[in-house]
Amino acid sequence: MAEHESEFGAFLAGFLIGGLVGAAAALLSAPQSGEDTRKLISEKSIELRNTAAEQAEVARQRAEALAADTRLKAEEASKKLEERSRELAEKAKVQSADLTAKAKEVTVDLTKKARSKTEELLKHTQKTVDEIESVELPPLGDTSTPSEA
């Protein structure tokens, strides 16, 4: 875009300079009176000014069209970016919900396993306590061992 404007600006400058050089060459090489020459210079300068104004208007219109096109493209890109952001946010939300559900499942499963192991340990401990309680111990005053008796 900037390259296109630069080329157009160079063309416009070349056109104006060429017009001035051509007009000056024509005036200097033409055999005319001073009054005719002044009149011709005046006419050519008015003509050149009008041409420059027309070219400036064309350049302004092109710049406005390019600005409008750029604005439109920027708005489209912004809308696409906004839509993509929404999609990614929704995807993250779904994945977060899935991970939360999976974490709950794992927690419930581990809790069940821990409860089961605890119950096993309690049963084993109770069995051990029952076994210990079933052992007959000699009276406290007796110093003989059970095998000696």
HSE-CB for 6 with a 13 A CA cutoff: 3
The pLDDT value recorded for residue 27 is 63
State yes or no: pLDDT of 49 exceeds 70: yes
Please answer whether residues 29 and 50 qualify as being in contact, where contact means their C-beta atoms are separated by less than 8 angstroms: no
Higher-pLDDT residue of 66 and 145 is 66
pTM metric for this prediction: 0.45
The pLDDT value recorded for residue 22 is 77
In the chain, where are the structural domains located?
A: 7-132
Which DSSP state fits 147? T
N-terminal to C-terminal alpha carbon distance within the chain: 114
Q: Which residues contact 56 (CB under 8 A, 6 or more apart)?
A: 12
Mean pLDDT of 32-43: 76
Over pLDDT 70: what percentage of the chain?
85
Distance CA 12, CA 10 (A): 5
> For helices 34-134 and 2-29, what crossing angle results, to 10°?
170
pLDDT level of residue 144 (50, 70, 90 thresholds): low
